[in-house]
Amino acid sequence: MRRTALLVSTALLTALLPLAVARAADDPPPVPVDRFEGEVPFASQPAEGIFTWGGDTDDPPTLQLTARADAPEGAKVLTGTYDISGYGGFTHDFAANQPPHDWSAHQGIRFWWDGQDNGKKVAFEIRDGGANGEASELWTTSFTDDFTGWKQVELPFTDFVYRTDYQPVGGIDHVLGLTQMWGYAVTLPVGVKGRFAMDDVELYGKADQSLRASVTTDAAVYPVKQGGTATVKVTLATTGSAPVADPVTVTYETSGGTAEPGKDYTPVTGTLTFPAGTASGTTRTIHVPTLRDKSAEPAETIPLKLTVTGAKPPAETPQVVVDAHGLPYLDSKLPVKKRVADLLSRMSLAEKVGQMTQAERGAVGEGADVATYDLGSLLSGGGSTPTPNTPAAWAKMIDGFQLRAQATRFQVPLIYGVDAVHGHNNLAGATIMPHNIGIGATRDPRLAQRTGAVTASEVRATGIPWDFAPCLCVSRDERWGRAYESFGEDPALVQSMETIIQGLQGAPNGRDLKGDDKVLATAKHFVGDGGTAYGSSTTGTYTIDQGVTKVTRQQLEAVHLAPYQTAVDRGIGTVMPSYSSLDILGDGQGPVKMHARGDMINGVLKGRMGFGGFVISDWNAIDQLPGDYSAHVRTAVDAGVDMMMVPYAYKDFTAQLIAEVQAGRVTQKRIDDAVSRILTQKFRLGLFEHPYADTRNASRIGSAAHRAVARQAAAESQVLLKNSHGVLPLKKNQKVYVAGSNADDLGNQTGGWTITWQGASGTHTQGTTILDAMRKDGNVAYSKDASAPTAGYDVGVVVVGETPYAEGVGDVGNGHTLQLSAADQAAVDKVCAAMRCAVLIVSGRPQLIGDRLGKIDALVASWLPGTEGDGVADVLYGKRPFTGQLPVTWPKSEAQLPINVGDASYDPQFPYGWGLTTLTKVPGGGEAALKALAVAAAAAERAGADRAGRVLVTKARLIVQEKVGGDITAAVAKPFAEADHLSLTGRYGAAVQKLIVAYRAD
């Protein structure tokens, strides 16, 4: 071995390093993968190279090649430091323009690791098949850093399992082939500041048949009604589908479990033989007969133990389950309340605590822990999807998890939840609606309900009965990274859009929840998440999200609580507290995290408002509470949180809550209340009778009918802020020059919470960009950066705005501003200097455009319109009129923020409620017409004629906007915005009177 500076003999080195496993005589020699001597650069695809990655800018580790005298091989080793809060690690990808490597002759992969004895697991991943290292199938295992100094870590290929939490391209064949390998990756520990050193990655050992051949069963759980016979299919599979060279035997016997042999089932034993030469895919069958008895019983398990010779055995022992029978809670004819009471009376403490626990699908692997911990719920966080990401794969995945719940004593079904916040946004090919801020701009409650109905239909068709939506936040500061999740800044507007709850759930009494096109909805985030003060967040680099909402009791009631009473009245099934803290002036408590505010959850929500559903925590939110983990658990449960979203900490949570109850610190009564609320919703959803996916509506996912609703929503969400010289609508015979970063980017127009949590630019689902839609309607040329010549065009359309983000990652000051990018500014300047121009702003919140407003003829707030760019083109070309109104105030500068309707000082660029129209000729008559409209509006108000009242206010608004034009002064803006608020609260006469004030002020 070479050394620099100090030459160490081979004998001395061998004495210093831990002994490696001796190589068998017939083993092939080790094959180097990485020596870390500089032969592999720090680079990324398509070149061969090592590169780092992480959940945010702080998470990727630092790497370097370091000369060390104690290097196990050569002169250098790979060293690095890390401090990871989300996830992070590094990858070695092989060159994509070269053939993949063949590792199939070897037993496994090994390397030297400089142990730090931190007790943390280090994940090691290999990349199998596919087009290249970043488009391959991922297989993973891990080792524990529980040693000090250099140790050779050996990872047999038989230890690697298919990754279920993330796959870059969807499942390729779910078989570790080893003949087309593209490299490896290391995921470093989270939550510990550390360093590492690694050397000499190589393939070792000789492959045996158990690596290439495996025995599987067609399921892990086989529920069967008493007296029925379970059929277990045992299949032999081989890598590359080659016949087995040596015989494979499978000895089986029924043994153990909770069922009694001879009473509940007939024991079976035997041996299955797959002779040498047996083809891959060959299946044998085992039958397990159960016996009928007359007693009512919970479910009973019959493990079928399999002993395999000559192949890799199944990952777990399959279980036959004799279904629970004869118990009252199983009787669908009984009232839900009686069914809940019966089931609750039978459950152990551990089973009850399991119902209060929600885990992330990626944390439970194939799902064995569902039964082990009696889990009540699973979820898919943003971007947590099956592979492939198709409706069928979602249904299959969730059915697989539901099957696991059948192995529990009472076979309580899971309730699976997703954040379908603007359509089934985790599913590729789903219909993606405009984000809520655009729905608020429509001012169309019936349309909001229809968008909810489409979402519910597509979500339920994939086997998911629960949606973490809608967000009922009242957004009071556009610097908030979640501003687009709000319907607007006015609680009256938010309340008017809560028709979406009926779209999701159906009738307020819950009678529709059992249908194949409805889901349980969630009102979030209780309460005040939209009112957090800028600079008050203590979460990482966030500036406003998860911060402190400081309000008087009156402000809390009028602004933030009002939408929740509406939601309760509409029968909302679940409520999610906010990460943020609430500081009610004068109550003496100071800022308190909402997950700890029993006065609000138990007192106001469940008590005063009469909420009868259950409260689900936000993702790991209890970890932000003060004290140790026992205090986190106790505080949240006692505050009224019924189910805890503890994605990867479900084992710790269940153990701790059981301990809290046993110690008397959490009462059994509180547990029973929480579990009763959860079970009630499961019964209402019909999950006990139909736990598995009803996919009859799957063909409607992304259908023309559903996309038509999204298209209408996109069209109605467009707000025409300025329209000088009648630039809009465009005419078919005009030559149109299109530019801007967001004209042809589906990812940008769908925004965050689309396919992944943060969303992404580019094309990641199916839809129509604004540019593609415009090309259907007119004579269009496109130059993204406006670098193409501008001469010879009649009008320009520049589509600019934001790139996707979600939550606090998108907070202004956390790498984001309200300014257009330099490229967007340049495109606007060039096009608008050359021709009449319309500027469309595709964004989750207002952008500061005042310095360019004079050069822009037409300005449109397009928000985040979703997958249906045709809706935007519809209003641009006059197929539909512009009718949208601002759901939030459009500021002149960031210094004005926060700025909202009703503020004492109010001088925005465009006031709340502003929105020009291309619908009809604006009514004439000036102030005289306004006075007549005021009289008629007051009469409509007295008669309860809401539709007529709104029409009258709209006419008055158009008269005012026509007179004001672009000269919006503070004296005009304040009464104009207040008029829209009054109209939303049904005070139509007063609304027109305010508009008269605005008219006179101009």
Among candidates 751, 795, 745, which has minimal Cα distance to 772? 745
Of 618, 802, 857, 980, which residue is the catalytic one? Answer: 618
Q: How many CA atoms lie within 13 A of 309 on its CB side?
A: 10
What is the DSSP annotation of 658-694? Answer: HHHHHTTSS-HHHHHHHHHHHHHHHHHTTTTT--S--
What is the secondary structure of 460-522 as a DSSP string? HTTT--EE---B------TTSTTGGGSS-S-HHHHHHGGGHHHHHH-STTSTTTTSTT--B-E
- What are 288's strand-pairing partners? 230
Tokens, residue 853: 């407003």
Between CA 173 and CA 83 the distance in angstroms is: 35
Q: Please, are residues 795 and 736 in contact by the beta-carbon 8 Å criterion?
A: yes
DSSP assignment of 387-418 equals SS-SHHHHHHHHHHHHHHHTTSSS-PPPEEEE
Instruction: Examine the residue annotation and report whether 618 is marked as an active-site residue of this protein.
Output: yes
Which residue's structure tokens are 């000088």? 724
Strand 522-526 with 795-801, pairing: unpaired
Strand bridging mode 108-116 / 120-128: unpaired
Let me know if 745 is exposed, middle or buried by CB neighbors in 10 A (0-12, 13-18, 19+).
buried
User: In 98-124, which positions are buried (b, 16+ CB within 10 angstroms) versus exposed (e)?
Assistant: eebbebbebbbbbbbbbbbeeebebbb
Q: CB–CB of 274/299 below 8 Å?
A: no
CA-based R_g, the chain, Å: 31
Name residue, tokens 């709850």: 501
CA-based torsion, 960, 961, 964, 970: positive or negative: positive
DSSP state of 279: P
Work out the widest C-alpha separation in the chain, in whole angstroms: 105
- Nearest CA-CA partner of 578 in 652, 481, 721, 471: 471
Structure-block tokens of residue 585 = 């002036």
N residues, the chain: 1002
By DSSP bridging, strand 644-645 and strand 357-360 are parallel
For residue 159, give both structure tokens.
Answer: 């230890």
Measured CA to CA, the distance from residue 767 to residue 869 in angstroms comes to 8
Amino acid of residue 311: A
Q: Quick check: 972 and 950 in contact, CB under 8 A?
A: no
The interaxial angle of helices 946-964 and 926-943, nearest 10 deg, is 160
940 Rama class: left (phi>0) / alpha (psi -120 to 50) / beta: alpha
Whether 807 sits among the annotated catalytic residues: the reply is yes
Q: Burial-class residue 14 by CB neighbours within 10 Å (0-12, 13-18, 19+).
A: exposed
- Report in angstroms the alpha-carbon separations of 855 from 825, 842, 966: 12, 19, 12
Q: Which of 812, 814, 876, 883 is nearest to 848 (CA)?
A: 812
CA 308/CA 158 separation, integer angstroms: 14
Token pair, residue 65, equals: 């090649």
The residue from 145, 478, 807, 941 that is catalytic is 807
d(C-alpha 797, C-alpha 782), whole Å: 10
| Cα distance from N-terminal residue to C-terminal residue, the chain | 87
What amino acid occupies position 828?
V
Residue with tokens 């009102």, as numbered in its chain: 523
β partners of residue 127: 138
Tell me the catalytic residues: 618, 807
